[in-house]
Structure 1
Amino acid sequence: MADKMQTEKEDQKIDESLYSRQLYVLGHEAMRRMANSNVLVVGLKGLGVEIAKNIALAGVKAMAVYDPTPVELSDLSAQFFLRKEDVGKSRADATQPRLAELNTYVPVSVHTENAISDLQSLARYQVVVLTETSIDDQLKINKFCRENNIYFISADIRGLFGNIFCDFGEGFSVIDATGETPVSGIISDIDEEGLVTALDETRHGLEDGDYVTFSEVEGMDGINDGTPRKVEVKGPYTFSIGSVEGLGKYAKGGLFQQVKMPKTLNFKSLSEQLVKPEFLISDFAKWDRPIQLHIGFQALSKFASTNGGKLPRPMNDQDAKQVLELAAEIAKTIEEGAPEEIDEKLLTELSYQARGYLSPMAAFFGGLAAQETLKALSGKFSPVTQFMYFDSLESLPTSTTRTEESCQPIGSRYDAQIAVFGKEFQEKIQNTKEFLVGAGAIGCEMLKNWAMIGLATGPNGSIHVTDMDSIERSNLNRQFLFRAPDVGKLKSECAAAAVAVMNPELNGKITSMRDRVGEDTEDTFNEDFWEGLDGVTNALDNVEARVYVDRRCVFFRKPLLESGTLGTKGNTQVVLPNLSESYSSSQDPPEKSFPMCTVKSFPNRIEHTIAWGREVFDSAFVNPPQSVNLYLSQPNFIESTLKQSGNQKEILETIRDYLANDKPLTFEECIEWGRLKFEKLYNNDIQQLLHVFPKDSVTNTGTPFWSGPKRAPDPLAFDLDNQEHQDFIVAAANLHAFNYGLKGSVDLSLYRKVLDSMLIPDFKPQSGIKIQANDNDPDPNAGAGSGFTDQDELSKIVESLPAPATLAGYRLTPAEFEKDDDTNFHIAFITAASNLRALNYGIQVADRHKTKLIAGKIIPAIATTTALVTGLVVLELYKLIDGKNKLDDYRNGFINLALPFFGFSEPIASPKGKYNDTEVDKLWDRFDFDHNLTLKELLAEFENKGLDITMLSYGNALLYASFFPAGKLKERYSLKMSELVELVSKKAVPAGRRNMIFEICADDKSGEDVEVPFICVKTKDA
């Protein structure tokens, strides 16, 4: 029995090094449910393979695919796992080996029975996902699935149109509807009516209908029983839990914790939903479209069933007329919400595009359908109920003419795209020059889509992709162009090579680079590079890089496609020259930080102790070795340290201790060091804190000091048999040994031998020590008050240091923080350090997984969101290639697959200004001068514009100000602008730079200060 339980436990073990980013979105329980489930995907054109790819990456138990249809050349327009040599083979047989490479934990097989007619063969699956399946067949399979408790999903795309339908049966339980982290807080009062007030006007963050539990409430023992209580919000700082009769009278203290309560959904069958459809609205600007497309997709299926399985021909009016007739008949069957009349223009366009197949639409619905599959298996997040329709008709080109002739197949891999856009627009796509910044998760998906649509494959097209990062194992879960043998290789090179295999026409058209895009690489990404581009696409994971690329795009007036994901959330933004605001026009809210006083002495949340644990890691294993190495390598290190204020003594004592007092010669001494570290942090320091602030302390207003957010701590007594204590000692000893180049060990018998014979000195709290009591109080140990300016004491420490010459060649090795290496003890130490601190303060401990998320500042990510967001970006890229020049042609997107929610809006217009009678675009306009004119000539140019320049600067160099002395100005008036820059900044203008950017302050004709654009002057090398 024990062996069986161990086997089951091992079966449920999740490879966190592979799934780490996904785990932070779905959680362990959802992942375990998925890992016990079998999925069938029917249909392996572009949409089917996208769904299957995302499911395989997510980590189900097994997946089967079914599609006996022979591969056609046009399938290559969106099916990225098919090759020209696969034409004639069955789609399933050709695709299965490449799907199987994605995730070694997910076996992928070909479903050998007829999945359409042999319904019993479906009984072994938990989810069946249908694509490229007629409505009649969907009805039969849906009926069987409902009778056998199998979750059912169907999805299809037709050109720029698509739909999805979900049926998870009766009584489907959603265990977490939103995926948001449960909120918690500290209580200041619960009145007799059950009104709960959060501490110090802290927003509670709850909504009506939420549930909370309570703990540590004094005077109301009956409320601490863990019973979830329903919330009615009364205000941002108060909420009601109803009657509290019989629970006691509130005295003080207490915490509340939100609890996710299961929600039950009852799905209707496909046959019921066809006539009484429920829609999830994908675009509120098109609220009336779902019912029209609901009828239209049924009409297409009916058309195919009466025309030998063939969909309407591209741009064919005769076929479109038949579709409209069928739609009119189907409309009569709609029992609820039927339209007053058929939208003939819309459904004609649907008919025109029915044979079209676009990679970004497959990416959009492939991400959505895969996420719905994971919801069915895990119960995590709210499903689509039950139909959703989406279109991107705005992506149709207007710069080229579509005719029936221009949309006919030409024997090209792009025929399914030509069926939608026509041959002329396909040529535009192929002759585009695009720059992709980043080759991570979004970058991989972007390149895949670009390869499918044929971007840059023409004679004048090109793609440049740059990424300085190498591939890590955790990338393989969502950066699908990479495989296990690629770990350690450069992302940009592997990604470029992978998509060139998907579309060999990219060979010679895609250039991979390894440079970071920033000021230090402007010689590489120079003016010629930027001016030669048609557009830029960001696939970045940090704000700083995004801002820099955005500014470059603004300067060179290049369109920018921006996007990002956070778990199930995603956003897209289009930056349009001379039309829209840019990425930098708005800012994300600042990253949340914790007051240092709280972290250092008064934590009340696990997040506080994790932040503290990260600081302890740096102060023990990173900063000291770095200081030692600087002391040994820089002759003036002591001199520069003594000139600092505040922490000279700490730095010098650290160097002394790490080179002499605490320098270990054996690993046993590292164990002793770790034991003393434990004693100081979790016993001595706590005793000292309680000596300064005893548990019965009161404030000057008479209230208990240890109340509200302040939790009174207790010292810990070391016990090697306690797992948390053990983890700390093992990690600390091994990291200390790493600093000194000693071999570590995890042999507990060695630790026990060392620690059993070790004497721990008694600690007696010191008087006179001051500790900051509140975040708003001044730090009593800051600056001169710390006593660190005692020069005699500092001199004695310096004299005690070993001379660098006696340690020639000696170096310590800092433990540079790396969160994804499970063997380096970094996260192990921070987890143990944080949890011991939590035990000091009576805070619920966190596992390694949560600690890693917070300490490593990890961005949760899943493949489904990335695929969907990238699809939206490429739909906007079509518009840019077309040259659309109105804001309302474009869409910024905001999605949350957990809810699910889709929101779209046109980009915000760039800010406008005015000087004298001239209107200007504050973002995109500038004053251009094509020659390297003198300062006097520049000032005269602006006088002619009715502007009086009061200040002129280049970077940090002030070149001109109206208050400068006449003599100083006389010297500068005759200088060329490049000469003036070199004179004032003491630096030469780089030889290759053709543009100099100047900021100005100016007054208008009335003498009023006005906001004006910047100046761009060509250099002498232009």
Structure 2
Amino acid sequence: PHRVPTPQFLLGESDIGQNRAKASQRVLAELNPHVTVVAHDKELSEAFLASFQVVVLTESPLEEQLRIGDFCHARGICFIVADTKGLAGQLFCDFGKRFVVDDPAEGDPVCAAVQHISQGNPGVVTCMGAEDSRGHLFCDGDLVTFSGVEGMTELNGQEPVPVRVLDAFRLEIGDTSSFSPYHRGGLVLQVRLPQVHSYKPLCQALADPQIQVASPEELLRSRSLHAAFQALHAFRGEQGHLPRPRAPADTERVLELARSLGVQEGSLDEDVVRAFASVSAGDLCPIAAIVGALAAQEVLKATTGKFLPLDQWLYFDALECLELEGAVQLTEEDCSPMGSRYDGQIAVFGAAFQEQLGRQKYLVVGAGAIGCELLKTFAMMGLAAGPGRDLTIADMDTLALSNLHRQLLYRSTDISKPKSVVAAAAVQRMNPSIRVTAHQNQVGPATESFYGDNFFRCLDGVASALDTLEARAYLESRCRRCLTPLLDSGTEGPRGNVLAMVPPLTKPLGPAGTPDDSTFPLCTLRYFPRTIQHTLQWARDEFEGLFQLPAENINRFMEDPDFREQLPEGKALEVLEQVQGSLWERPRDWPDCVRWARQHWQSRYHDAITQLLHTFPPEHETSPGVPFWAGDRSCPHPLTFDPDNDTHLEYILAAAYLFAQAHKVPPCSDRAATQTILRSMVLPPFMPQEGLQIPLAEEWEEVQAPAGFFLPPDCGRLAELTQDLVQRKQELIGGEDVQMPLMEPIHFEK
């Protein structure tokens, strides 16, 4: 390239004049050493293309698209076209005459626990309700199989059968009149059969397009862009260049060419074509990122046979940007090229806007997956690349191996290094003009002395790339108070969201709360987990309850004379008892930490389960013939500790190490010494309690009281506890070896 293209984050100024494929290959190979990346700088001949499973064309002339598209269609090679022009993008997929999709739907197959199956024609399956009482999620015509059914065992392993939905809990299946009577248990699981799809080649799809849209109202706009992209190819073939930015004559010529395509009357939005053509010479990193990501997603579908591919065209645009104040009045002179790396942006938004971008002072909080994408885009756009500028990156995390597959600014050599420092260096390599500052801090209540109101008021904006709702809510409150614009973003699985807040012009983003579909009742987590999500959430809560919250409460108790008065009325006794327990179990050395971990293991994985099975034995029935341990309850079994079991020993070592870190005790990595301590321990036998109430539903876990009513605390116990803690505090302060803060809270980091 003669200059660094705005969206090309793989290339730097040192690559100017080199072949793009060869220059990009070096950087691509660094992203994943296990992937072989080969550069090809010759003609795309049929002999070269024949060896590929998927071919993707970008920035390709229409004639080349048609030639290669016909070849790929005839050879059964999946063919994708991805292109961007200015504020619009285009994506096309042709996966051949017969493409098999093995797993067409997103998410896991629907599954439900069986409560009863009738003998009849048809048989009726009654499913157990989940904790949210929504019932099953099957649809009419779904194919299902059965497993684990006791009694009516003829259903187990049977070929998939269709269901008819009767209501939220009942399904009709085939004839079960000759089957054995249903006894108990079982799961009904949705079966997804492969689908075969056929695609038209590009030459046919151009004239008769199948365009995917989110709603019928968007179809006219997409059809207009479909014609506009073809007209643009014709204009370039005719003139030898793209339309000049904001040049009325060139824009009108593109519109004439679009009309000449024989588009049906009423199916061409001329304003859309004009807007598209007027900035089609532009080259924008965000548009390229969106279309590139969508194209990569289609490549994964082509190679894996998972999820439905695009059928067949998709158009994306952000032409509404041209209607904003300041963009409407731009002229051809305002948007003419300047020989700058930002000419692709200047063609759309003008030189004055580019200068304004360069003067920005911005804070990016979080340098994870979304943070890396934001920083890459900011670097390519030239944010904070001018006078008086500054881009600050705040992240307290260090890089882990598991981060590399989704965080493109990092390499394997960066593992264990601070993310903010590595990200700042990567940004400067992409664009040396940017002034970037790395902060290894968490932006939160503990750092308000550094990130105070003056800090926020001096910013032009904040970009939030945090992974917890609490942290995002805190950042929003600071920006709202200081009237600082905030761009908030987040992802959950395959879904994502972006919200912008410009106080006081826009409404607050709203209170943060854990989504309804990702919360679990405490009784499910503590006693009846049945999915990996339940066990992970339990472990996450366990970590916080052992190594973070107690340390935070202990430190506040030791340092704040008004700690007791600041506690909520209904929580004072609970918190003070926790503080007392933490003080009395303070370890003196590493063996104490090991003994604590061993006792905790026994409590969680033996005693608690033994108590649960004492209250609800394996043969327990909720009513005659209806087993308690069935459906969404799996009967557990207590574990017996074995110091020679690697899993048991690793748990003890990890728990003891964290406990030692929280209490500032030097740890020991000698496994043999730890095993010796464990073998010397003799724990008293556990005796289950009689009549212990274990909650079976979420509402059992809470004391039933009118709204706003608090049960009176045990005043005598509270006074006794407070006095004991004050005395213990004085003893600790008088000790010679006590360092403040007394404990080190450990925050969970993925």
Q: TM-score normalised by the shorter chain: which range applies?
A: 0.7 to 0.9
Q: What secondary structure sits across from 1:271 in the alignment?
A: helix
Name the amino acid aligned to 1:374.
Answer: L
1:477 correspondence with 2:405: yes
CA deviation string 1:638-672 (max 9, x = no partner): xxxxx985799998788778859xx88599xx6x9
In structure 2, the partner of 1:270 is 202
Q: What secondary structure sits across from 1:455 in the alignment?
A: coil
Please give the residue correspondences for 1:567-966 in structure 2 after superposition, counting only pairs within 5 Å. 567-577=493-503, 579-584=505-510, 589-590=515-516, 592-612=518-538, 645=573, 686-697=609-620, 706=629, 709-715=632-638, 726-732=646-652, 735-736=655-656, 739=660, 743-744=668-669, 765=687, 768=690, 770-772=692-694, 774-775=696-697, 776-777=699-700, 816=746, 820=750
Change (3 A) 1:240 1:576: farther
CA deviation string 1:551-579 (max 9, x = no partner): 34434444433222223212222334454
> Once the 2 structures are TM-superposed, how far is the Cα of residue 761 of structure 1 from its aligned partner?
8.5
In structure 1, the partner of 2:346 is 418
> Once the 2 structures are TM-superposed, how far is the Cα of residue 305 of structure 1 from its aligned partner?
3.2
Q: What secondary structure sits across from 2:433 in the alignment?
A: helix
Q: 1:312 aligns with which of 233, 239, 243?
A: 243
The gaps in structure 1 that reach 5 residues or longer are 1-70, 333-337, 638-642, 821-1022
> Once the 2 structures are TM-superposed, how far is the Cα of residue 152 of structure 1 from its aligned partner?
1.6
In structure 1, the partner of 2:307 is 381
> Once the 2 structures are TM-superposed, how far is the Cα of residue 284 of structure 1 from its aligned partner?
5.6
Tell me how far apart the structure 1 counterparts of residues 505 and 561 of structure 2 sit (CA, whole Å): 56
> Does the CA-based 8 Å contact 1:134-1:301 persist in structure 2?
yes
Q: 2:12 aligns with which of 79, 83, 87?
A: 83
> Does the CA-based 8 Å contact 2:520-2:534 persist in structure 1?
yes
In structure 2, the partner of 1:895 is none
Tell me how far apart the structure 1 counterparts of residues 393 and 310 of structure 2 sit (CA, whole Å): 37
Q: 1:561 aligns with which of 487, 504, 507?
A: 487
> Once the 2 structures are TM-superposed, how far is the Cα of residue 819 of structure 1 from its aligned partner?
6.1
In structure 2, the partner of 1:303 is 235
Change (3 A) 1:85 1:276: same
Tell me how far apart the structure 2 counterparts of residues 653 and 529 of structure 1 sit (CA, whole Å): 40
Task: Report the number of matched residues.
Answer: 718
Q: 2:90 aligns with which of 151, 163, 176?
A: 163
Q: 1:256 aligns with which of 184, 188, 204?
A: 188
Change (3 A) 1:342 1:647: closer
In structure 2, the partner of 1:129 is 56
Tell me how far apart the structure 1 counterparts of residues 358 and 578 of structure 2 sit (CA, whole Å): 62
> Does the CA-based 8 Å contact 2:523-2:696 persist in structure 1?
yes
Tell me how far apart the structure 2 counterparts of residues 625 and 351 of structure 1 sit (CA, whole Å): 61
Q: 1:462 aligns with which of 354, 374, 389?
A: 389
CA deviation string 1:717-743 (max 9, x = no partner): 67899xxx6422443256447747564
Tell me how far apart the structure 1 counterparts of residues 183 and 298 of structure 2 sit (CA, whole Å): 47
Name the amino acid aligned to 2:78.
Answer: Y
In structure 1, the partner of 2:136 is 204
Please give the residue correspondences for 1:35-46 in structure 2 after superposition, counting only pairs within 5 Å. none
> Once the 2 structures are TM-superposed, how far is the Cα of residue 583 of structure 1 from its aligned partner?
0.7
Please give the residue correspondences for 1:38-117 in structure 2 after superposition, counting only pairs within 5 Å. 71-73=1-3, 75-115=4-44
Q: What secondary structure sits across from 2:231 in the alignment?
A: helix
Name the amino acid aligned to 2:37.
Answer: V
Tell me how far apart the structure 2 counterparts of residues 600 and 238 of structure 1 sit (CA, whole Å): 29
Tell me how far apart the structure 2 counterparts of residues 804 and 122 of structure 1 sit (CA, whole Å): 76
1:499 correspondence with 2:427: yes
Q: Report the TM-score, using the length of structure 2 for normalisation.
A: 0.80
> Once the 2 structures are TM-superposed, how far is the Cα of residue 76 of structure 1 from its aligned partner?
2.6
Change (3 A) 1:124 1:599: same
Tell me how far apart the structure 1 counterparts of residues 548 and 482 of structure 2 sit (CA, whole Å): 42
- Indicate the percent of aligned positions where both proteins have the same amino acid: 36
In structure 2, the partner of 1:224 is 156
> Once the 2 structures are TM-superposed, how far is the Cα of residue 413 of structure 1 from its aligned partner?
1.8
> Does the CA-based 8 Å contact 1:631-1:804 persist in structure 2?
no
Name the amino acid aligned to 2:136.
Answer: H
Cα RMSD after superposing both structures: 4.8
CA deviation string 1:878-903 (max 9, x = no partner): xxxxxxxxxxxxxxxxxxxxxxxxxx
Q: What secondary structure sits across from 1:574 in the alignment?
A: strand
> Once the 2 structures are TM-superposed, how far is the Cα of residue 389 of structure 1 from its aligned partner?
1.1
Change (3 A) 1:623 1:591: same
Q: What secondary structure sits across from 1:348 in the alignment?
A: helix
> Does the CA-based 8 Å contact 2:610-2:688 persist in structure 1?
no
In structure 1, the partner of 2:258 is 327
1:395 correspondence with 2:395: no
> Once the 2 structures are TM-superposed, how far is the Cα of residue 518 of structure 1 from its aligned partner?
4.2
> Once the 2 structures are TM-superposed, how far is the Cα of residue 818 of structure 1 from its aligned partner?
5.4
Change (3 A) 1:815 1:209: farther
Q: Report the TM-score, using the length of structure 1 for normalisation.
A: 0.60
> Once the 2 structures are TM-superposed, how far is the Cα of residue 157 of structure 1 from its aligned partner?
0.8
> Does the CA-based 8 Å contact 1:471-1:486 persist in structure 2?
no
> Once the 2 structures are TM-superposed, how far is the Cα of residue 142 of structure 1 from its aligned partner?
1.9
CA deviation string 1:994-1021 (max 9, x = no partner): xxxxxxxxxxxxxxxxxxxxxxxxxxxx
Tell me how far apart the structure 2 counterparts of residues 764 and 456 of structure 1 sit (CA, whole Å): 64
CA deviation string 1:287-328 (max 9, x = no partner): 2022222222122223333444x3333334444454344333
> Does the CA-based 8 Å contact 1:291-1:339 persist in structure 2?
no
Tell me how far apart the structure 1 counterparts of residues 542 and 364 of structure 2 sit (CA, whole Å): 39
Change (3 A) 1:500 1:243: same
Q: Structure 1 residues 225-234 or 357-366, which shifts more?
A: 225-234
Q: What secondary structure sits across from 2:694 in the alignment?
A: coil
Name the amino acid aligned to 1:251.
Answer: H
> Does the CA-based 8 Å contact 2:549-2:745 persist in structure 1?
no
Q: What secondary structure sits across from 2:11 in the alignment?
A: coil
Change (3 A) 1:322 1:247: farther
Change (3 A) 1:555 1:685: closer
Q: What secondary structure sits across from 1:95 in the alignment?
A: helix
Where relative contact order (Cα < 8 A, 6+ residues apart) is larger, the structure is 1
Tell me how far apart the structure 2 counterparts of residues 683 and 517 of structure 1 sit (CA, whole Å): 41
Name the amino acid aligned to 1:165.
Answer: F
Tell me how far apart the structure 1 counterparts of residues 171 and 637 of structure 2 sit (CA, whole Å): 33
Tell me how far apart the structure 2 counterparts of residues 658 and 458 of structure 1 sit (CA, whole Å): 55
In structure 2, the partner of 1:145 is 72
Q: What secondary structure sits across from 1:124 in the alignment?
A: coil
1:367 correspondence with 2:293: yes
Q: What secondary structure sits across from 1:110 in the alignment?
A: coil
1:451 correspondence with 2:367: no
In structure 1, the partner of 2:567 is none
Please give the residue correspondences for 1:242-253 in structure 2 after superposition, counting only pairs within 5 Å. 242-253=174-185
> Does the CA-based 8 Å contact 2:84-2:287 persist in structure 1?
yes
